[in-house]
Structure 1
Amino acid sequence: MKSSSNHLPPSDLDTTKELTPLKDDGGDSGATVVVEKVITYAVVPPDGGWGWVIVTASFFCNLIVDGIIFTFGMFLNDIQREFGGSKSKVAVVGSLLAGFYLMAGPFVSALANRYGFRLVTILGSILGTVGFLASSFATDVEFLFVSYGIIGGIGFGLIYVPAVITTGFYFERWRAIATGIAVCGSGIGTFVLAPFAVHLIEWYGWRGALIIQAGLVLNCAIFGTLFRPLEPVRVVTTREVSMKNNHSASKLSLLKRIKQERDEHRRNRGSLASVDSDKYEKSSIRVTNNNAYTTAAEALARSVGSLPGSRFASTHSLGMSNHHGVETGEEHLKAVYEMERDDDDTMTALVHHQSQTVIRRGSKRLRTASESSSRSRKGLELSGTKPFYRDDIFFGASLTRLPQYTSQSSISYHMSVTRLPTKQDIKEQAGENSRMCTEALTRTLGTMLDFSLFKSPTFLILAVSGFITMMGFYVPFMYLTDRAELSGMEKGLAMFLVSSIGITNTIGRVLCGIVSSIPGMNALFINNTALTLGGAATILSGISMSITYQYAYAIIFGLSIACFASLRSIIIVDLMGLDNLTNAFGLLLLFQGISAAIGSPIAGAFMDATGSYDASFYLSGTLILVSAILCYPLNRVNRWEKRRAAELSAGL
C-alpha cells in the first residue's frame, strides 16, 4: 500500500444521493427513494509488506534506546572517579534518563498524534544525540543531570513511544508477533551494549564512549524515516431512504418536496451521536477524555436510525477502495468518521452529501442544484490516520484476546474502537484555524492524563503496584556488575551479568507472548508469579557471590521482568476494559517514570551508608515482592467493583 500524507481524495468525497420514483401497492407513483452513499476514509493495516520494515526499524530503535538505558551502570565507577561524590549521586544521572524516558510518554503520544510517528522519532533522535554529545563535555555531575538525564531522557521518550506503537498500527492479524519481535530489541540491546559499553570505556574513556553512543542514537533518525504514514482508503456504505408522501406535500412541486425532505433529514442528523462532555470538565487539563467521543460504529448506527422512512437496501454494501479505485477486503477496515463540535460543546456525527442529486421521474431525468461540501478534503483524509483515536492503540497482544474482536466481524471491531475526529480537528489538519494546542494534542493529553481513573480501586492498586515495582526495577541493572567486581569476580565475567538479564528478558517476552495467547490464561496470575519470584530472587541474590549463583539470579530476574513488561496492556484490558487502556497506560507511564527516577539513587544511598550492596538489593527485592503481593487480591477487588457499579446503575 502506498503512503502519501499529502495525497488528496477524489472529488466524490461526500455522500451521493440518487432519487428514483417508486410505485407502491397503492398506485402512488410520486413516491421516491433516496439511494445514499456514506463515504469516509479509513486506515487499513497491510499486515505485512512495508509493515515488516516498520518492525525492523522499531526493533533497532528499542535496541539502541533500552540498551543504553539498561547499561548505564557500566559508566558508574568511571564518572564517580572523575567527579567524586557518592554512588547514589552518580546513579541519579542514569535514573533521570530512565525516568524522563517514561514520564514523557503521555506528552510524546500527543505529539505523535498531531505530527506523526516519523517526525517525532527524528526529533527524539536529534535531541538525544545533542544531549549525549553535550554530556561528553560535562564539568560536573549536575551538568550530567540536565544533559544526559533530562535532555537525553526526553529524546529517548520521543523515540520509544513511536517505536512501540507504530508496529501495532501496521498489523492486525499478526500484531502480537510483530510487536513481540519489535520489543525484543530491548533485551538484545541490553545483551549487546553492556559489554560494548565496557570496551568503549576501556578504549576511549567514558567521554569518548558517550560520543559513540550519541552516534548510535542518531541512527534512530534513519529508522524513524521508515515510519511512513499509511494511506487512507475510501469506505462506502449504501442505503435506501424512502421519501414520505402526504396530502400537503403532494401539492408541492417535486423539487420543493425534495428540499423539504432534505431539510428534515438534516435536522434529524444534527442530533446524531451527540455526546455531552460536561462530566470531564474537572479533568486536570480541562479537555475531553477520548471515551466521550462517539465511535464510528455508533455514528453509523445512529445515522441509519435517525433517517425518516429509511430502510437498508437489499443490496446493502460496505465497500472500500483506495484513491485509485482498488477494492480492499472489508476484514481489514479501520473506519474513521468525522464529528462536528457544536456551539454547546457537544460532538455530532456528520453525514456528508455529494455535490449532485439525481432525480428520475418516469423516463425523465432532472438534476437539482449542487450542494458542495465545504469540508476540507485534505483534512478529512489526514484525520483517518490519527492513531491515538483508537482504543486499542497500546494493545500489543493478539487481538483474539479481546471479546470485541472475537464476537463480531473485523470491520465491526475496527469501527467500534475508532473514535471520531471533530470538526476543529479536520480544519486544523487542513491548515485552517491552527492554534498552538491543537485538538489532536489536547484530546490525547486529556485522555492519557485523566486522573478521574484513580477513583477506581482496581486501577489505584494497579498504579501503586506499578510504582513500587519500578522503584526496584532498575537497581540490578545499575549495581549488579559493580557488586560482582567488588566481590572479586573477574571483570570480563561480571560485565556479562547484565547481558544475561537482557537475553533472558528477550526469551521471556517471547514465552509470555505465546502463553498469554492461550485462551483462558490468566495474565494477572502470570505477572504476580513472575514478580514474586523476581523479588524473592533479588532478596536472596547476595547469599553467594559464586559465578554460577550470580548468573542463575540474572536469568531468573530477566525472565521475571519480561513478564511484567509484556503483560501490562493485557492486564489493564482484562481489569479496566479496552476503552480505558489509553487512559490507564498514560497514567502508569507517568507514575512509573517518577518511581524509576528515584529508585536507584535510594538504593545507592543504602550502599553509601552501609558500605555494602546487600541492603540495596534487599530493598529492591522487597519492593518488587510487595508490588506482587498487592496484586494478589486484584481480581477479587475488580469483581467487587464491577458488582457495585452494576448495583448502582440498577438503582439498588
Structure 2
Amino acid sequence: MPPKVIASKLGNEPNKNVLIIPSRIISRPDQLEGGEETEIAAQILLPEEGGWGWVVVIASFCSIFILDGVTFTFGSIFKNMKEDLGESESLIALINSLSVALYFLASPIASAFINRFGFRLCVMSGSVIASSSLFCSYFATNYVSLCVFYGGFAGFGFSLINVSASLIVSFYFEKLRSLALSLASSGSSVGIMIMFPINSYLVKLAGWRAVTLLHTGLFGVIYFLGMTFKPLLSLTVVKTTDDPTRTVTYLPNLSTAGVKSTSGVVSTATERLFSAVSNVNFPTAASVVHEGILTSSNQPGLSTAALSKLTLTAHSPQSGISKRQLKQVQSIMSRTSAKEQDKTKNNIEVTVNIEQPKKRSWWTRLCHWEEHTQQARPLYRDDFFYEGKIENLPVYQKSMIDTTAEDKTGLEYQLAVSRAATTADLRERRGVFTTAARRVLATMLDPKLLKKCSFLFLCSSGCLTYMGLLVPYVFIQDRNTIAGLDPAHTQLFVSAIGLANSLGRLVMGTLACKIDPVKLYMISCCISGVSTIFSDVSYSVYYQYSYCFVFGFFIASLASLRSMVIVALYGLENLTNGTGMLLMFQGCGSLVSTPIAGVVKNNFGYSVAFYVAGIFMTISGFLIIPLRKLSVKENEIDNATRKNCYESK
C-alpha cells in the first residue's frame, strides 16, 4: 500500500510554491531513572546547491574582504597613530592585538548567537558594533579610549562578522561546498592585498583618523551585504509510534545515564557546562529517524516503543519556497515515506497543506524582513567548521554506501552529521542565552579534549604560531623603511603576503586531500618560522618580496588546514569542540604577539623581534610532529576504556 498523502489548502486560492507539512507530536513524559524523558526531533537545513547561494558567496567574500582588509593592515596606520598619541610601540601594538584576540576569543559566543538568532542578524549586528566602535575611535583622544573602542568593542563586532560570513556558505552548498568556501575565504587575502596600499596612501594624505573613518563606512556596507544571508528552508523530522500517547523520546540529562552513540560505544556525560550538555551526548538525526537507537528496557534513554509514523515539517522562509525547493521536498517526502514504510511495514501518513500567499505592495516586498527560522539550529551539525571536501569524510562515504540509489532521499549526509534537538529546545522563543545558545557554548568550550596530551600540543602550537604571525603584518613596512628601502616598495610587502596567502589557501586545501593534513600543517608552520628568522639576511627588494611570498604562502595553512587537522586526529564529532578550544589559544597568542615584539624591538631592534617571532612559529611546527602517534595511542586507550565500560553495563 503506497504512502497516504492528504492535501488541503488554506485560503481561497492555492499557492503551489509554498509547502507546509504540519507536525503531529504527542508526548507522554515518563519519570525514568536519571531524570525526565524528553522528546527529540531531527532538524535539517536543506542546501540550495547554487542559485541564491552564489549571491551569498559574493556577499561573504566582500564581508571578509573588508574585515581582514582592516584587521590585518594595522601596520599601515601604526606609525602615524604612535606619533599622534605619543605612546610606546608596544602599547600601540596592543590596540590591534586586543581586536585580533577578541576576533578569536569571542568566536564561541558569536557561534552561540548564530545558533540562537541566525546568520543574518549576527553579521548585521556585528557590522553595527564594529562600525560604531571605529567611529568612536575617530574622536578618541587618549590611549584607553582606543583600547576600549578599537580594541574591545570593535573586536567583538569583528568576531560576529567573521563567524557568520565565513561559515554561512557551507549551508548553501554540499557537493560544491569546498569550492564555495575557498572562493569566500579568499576575500581575506585579497582584502589584505588591496587595503594595505590604500591605507598607506590615505595615511600620508590625512592621517590615521581619516583612514579609520573610511573603515567605519566600509563596515557599514557589511550591514547591507548581510541582508543577503536569508534563512534556508529547514525540515523537522519526527518519528511517532502507533500509540497516540507516546513518541520517540530521548533523555538529554545524562549526568547519570549512559547513552549509546552511533559507533556503538556507551558514553557518559558527567559534567554540564552553562546548564547544557555537549552535542556529542545527543544522537545523530540519522540514528533517530532511520535506526531508532533503542536502549535496553532497564536503561533510561530512547523509547523502545515500535515506530510507525513519520512526520516532516517544512519551516520555509517567509518569502516562500522556490519551485526547485518544492520539488526537492516533495521528492524527499515520497522517497522517505516509501523507505520508512518498507522498513516498518506500516502506513506512513504525510499531510500537505497549501498556504494562501500574502499580498504585498512592491515597497513592502522590497523592505520585507525575513525573520530567522526559530527551528533552525545550524551549529547542531558536526561539520559546521569543516572546510575540506565532505566527500573525503568517512561519515559522508558511509551515508552514501549504506543507501541504495532507489532509497536515496537527498538527506543522508545531513541526517548523518546533524545532532538531534529536544522539542523543548525548538519551542523556545524568548531570551538570549536559551538552550540553543548554551548548548553551543557547552560544546565548543567542553574541556574534555584538554585531557588529551596530543590536543594540548596542538593548542600550544596554535598559541605559539599566533604569537609570531602578526609581527610581519604590523612591523615589516617600518622595518624595511628604516633599512633604507624605497617606501613605494615597503607599502606593497603586506600586499605580497596577501597575494601569496590567497594562492596558498587554494594549494594547501588541494594538497590536504592527497597528503596527511597534519604533516602539511607541521611543514607549513616550520617553513613560515624559518623564513621569518632569516628575513633580515638581505634587505634587497627582491629578497624581501621573496620572503613575503614564502611566508604568506605557507602561513595560509592555519586557516585552510585547521579543521582538517582536528578531524584527522579526533574525528568529525569533536570538530566543534576542538575548534572552540583551539580558537581560544590562538586568541591568547594574538593578544601578546605584537606587544612582545614591540618591547623586544625597543630593546634589541627589529632583527631580534623577527627572530623571536620566527622561533615561536618554528617551535609550533615541531610540536605537531608527535601528534599523530600520541593521538593513535590515546584513541586506543579510550576505545579500550569504553569497551570495558560498555561490557560492565
Normalising by the residue count of structure 1, what TM-score does the alignment of the two structures yield?
Answer: 0.79
**Matching residue of 2:366:** none
The answer to whether the 8 A contact 1:129-1:218 is kept is yes
Measured after TM superposition, the shift of residue 449 of structure 1 is 1.0
Measured after TM superposition, the shift of residue 69 of structure 1 is 1.1
2:391 to 400, 405, 414: 400
The answer to whether the 8 A contact 1:168-1:175 is kept is yes
1:139 to 141, 148, 151: 141
Q: Tell me the amino acid that sits aligned with residue 86 of structure 1.
A: S
SS in 2 for 1:262: coil
The answer to whether the 8 A contact 1:188-1:503 is kept is yes
Report which stretch shifted further, 56-65 or 404-413.
Answer: 404-413
User: Per the alignment, do residues 309 and 537 of structure 1 end up closer, same or farther by CA in structure 2, a change over 3 Å counting?
Assistant: closer
Q: 2:206, 2:229 → 1: CA distance?
A: 34
The answer to whether the 8 A contact 1:281-1:288 is kept is no
Pair 1:10-2:20 in alignment: yes
2:482 to 474, 486, 507: 486
Measured after TM superposition, the shift of residue 262 of structure 1 is 2.2
Q: 2:75, 2:304 → 1: CA distance?
A: 65
2:283 to 289, 294, 297: 294
Report which stretch shifted further, 178-187 or 197-206.
Answer: 197-206
**Matching residue of 2:568:** 574
Measured after TM superposition, the shift of residue 460 of structure 1 is 1.4
Measured after TM superposition, the shift of residue 85 of structure 1 is 2.3
2:523 to 496, 519, 529: 529
The answer to whether the 8 A contact 1:330-1:411 is kept is no
Q: 2:306, 2:544 → 1: CA distance?
A: 75
Mapping for residues 323-334 of structure 1, pairs under 5 Å: 326-328=326-328
Q: Tell me the amino acid that sits aligned with residue 389 of structure 1.
A: Y
User: Per the alignment, do residues 491 and 590 of structure 1 end up closer, same or farther by CA in structure 2, a change over 3 Å counting?
Assistant: same
Pair 1:649-2:642 in alignment: yes
CA offset digits 1:335-392 (Å, max 9, x no partner)? 99xxxxxxxxxxxxxxx99899xxxxxxxxxxxxxxxxxxxxxxxx945521101110
SS in 1 for 2:599: helix
**Matching residue of 1:592:** 586
Mapping for residues 252-267 of structure 1, pairs under 5 Å: 262=243, 266=245
Measured after TM superposition, the shift of residue 605 of structure 1 is 0.4
Report which stretch shifted further, 280-289 or 291-300.
Answer: 280-289
Q: Tell me the amino acid that sits aligned with residue 392 of structure 1.
A: D
Aligned residues between the structures: 551
Identity %: 32
CA offset digits 1:209-235 (Å, max 9, x no partner)? 110111111111111111111122576
Q: Tell me the amino acid that sits aligned with residue 553 of structure 1.
A: Y
User: Per the alignment, do residues 104 and 8 of structure 1 end up closer, same or farther by CA in structure 2, a change over 3 Å counting?
Assistant: farther
User: Per the alignment, do residues 384 and 230 of structure 1 end up closer, same or farther by CA in structure 2, a change over 3 Å counting?
Assistant: same
Q: 1:39, 1:446 → 2: CA distance?
A: 20
The answer to whether the 8 A contact 1:281-1:287 is kept is no
Measured after TM superposition, the shift of residue 40 of structure 1 is 7.3
Measured after TM superposition, the shift of residue 80 of structure 1 is 1.1
**Matching residue of 1:23:** none
1:475 to 468, 471, 475: 471
Normalising by the residue count of structure 2, what TM-score does the alignment of the two structures yield?
Answer: 0.79
The answer to whether the 8 A contact 1:14-1:40 is kept is no
**Matching residue of 1:277:** 254
Mapping for residues 145-184 of structure 1, pairs under 5 Å: 145-184=147-186
Q: 2:226, 2:234 → 1: CA distance?
A: 20
Pair 1:608-2:599 in alignment: no
The answer to whether the 8 A contact 2:42-2:419 is kept is no
**Matching residue of 1:542:** 536
**Matching residue of 1:19:** none
Q: 2:186, 2:471 → 1: CA distance?
A: 21
1:454 to 445, 450, 453: 450
The answer to whether the 8 A contact 1:44-1:332 is kept is no
Mapping for residues 116-515 of structure 1, pairs under 5 Å: 116-233=118-235, 262=243, 266=245, 269=247, 272-278=249-255, 279-280=268-269, 282-301=271-290, 303=292, 326-328=326-328, 382=373, 384-409=375-400, 411-428=411-428, 431=429, 434-515=430-511
Q: 2:69, 2:269 → 1: CA distance?
A: 40
Measured after TM superposition, the shift of residue 524 of structure 1 is 0.8
Measured after TM superposition, the shift of residue 456 of structure 1 is 1.8
CA offset digits 1:469-498 (Å, max 9, x no partner)? 111110110101110001001111100000
Q: 2:253, 2:96 → 1: CA distance?
A: 45
**Matching residue of 1:367:** none
Q: Tell me the amino acid that sits aligned with residue 584 of structure 1.
A: G
Report which stretch shifted further, 214-223 or 79-88.
Answer: 79-88
**Matching residue of 2:633:** 640
SS in 1 for 2:419: coil
Report which stretch shifted further, 459-468 or 412-421.
Answer: 412-421
Q: 2:122, 2:640 → 1: CA distance?
A: 45
2:612 to 614, 619, 640: 619
CA offset digits 1:399-426 (Å, max 9, x no partner)? 0120110122263322121112222222
Q: 1:127, 1:39 → 2: CA distance?
A: 35
Q: Which runs of 5+ in 2 are unaligned?
A: 1-16, 27-39, 256-267, 295-302, 337-347, 353-371, 401-409
The answer to whether the 8 A contact 2:385-2:575 is kept is yes
Q: 2:415, 2:588 → 1: CA distance?
A: 36
**Matching residue of 2:51:** 49
Q: 2:389, 2:446 → 1: CA distance?
A: 27
Measured after TM superposition, the shift of residue 644 of structure 1 is 1.4
The answer to whether the 8 A contact 1:304-1:310 is kept is no
Q: 1:112, 1:11 → 2: CA distance?
A: 26
Pair 1:628-2:617 in alignment: no
User: Per the alignment, do residues 392 and 633 of structure 1 end up closer, same or farther by CA in structure 2, a change over 3 Å counting?
Assistant: same
Q: 2:205, 2:243 → 1: CA distance?
A: 78
Mapping for residues 18-97 of structure 1, pairs under 5 Å: 42-97=44-99
Q: 2:205, 2:460 → 1: CA distance?
A: 43
The answer to whether the 8 A contact 1:509-1:562 is kept is yes
Q: Tell me the amino acid that sits aligned with residue 229 of structure 1.
A: P
CA offset digits 1:550-590 (Å, max 9, x no partner)? 11100000011111211000000111111111111111112
SS in 2 for 1:394: coil
The answer to whether the 8 A contact 2:44-2:415 is kept is no
User: Per the alignment, do residues 122 and 436 of structure 1 end up closer, same or farther by CA in structure 2, a change over 3 Å counting?
Assistant: closer
The answer to whether the 8 A contact 2:42-2:285 is kept is no
Report which stretch shifted further, 569-578 or 408-417.
Answer: 408-417
SS in 1 for 2:164: helix
The answer to whether the 8 A contact 1:128-1:151 is kept is yes
Report which stretch shifted further, 134-143 or 152-161.
Answer: 134-143
